[in-house]
Amino acid sequence: MRIALASDHAGYELKELIKLRLYDSGHEVVDFGTDNAERSVDYPDMGRPAAQAVVRGNCDRAVLICGTGIGMSIVANKITGVYAALCMDGLQAEYSRRHNNANVLVMAARLTGLLLAEEILNRWLETDFEGGRHARRVDKVEIG
Question: Is the Cα dihedral 98, 123, 32, 23 positive or negative?
Answer: negative
pLDDT attached to residue 143: 62
Reply yes or no on domain 2-143 having CATH 3.40.1400.10.
yes
For residue range 32-89, list pLDDT tens digits in order.
999 999 999 999 999 999 999 999 999 999 999 999 999 999 999 999 999 999 999 9
Span 95-112, average pLDDT = 98
pLDDT attached to residue 12: 98
Nearest to 134 by CA among 97, 84, 99: 99
* First and final C-alpha spacing in the chain: 30
Under the banding of pLDDT at 50, 70 and 90, the label for residue 142 is confident
* Residues with active-site annotation: 66, 99
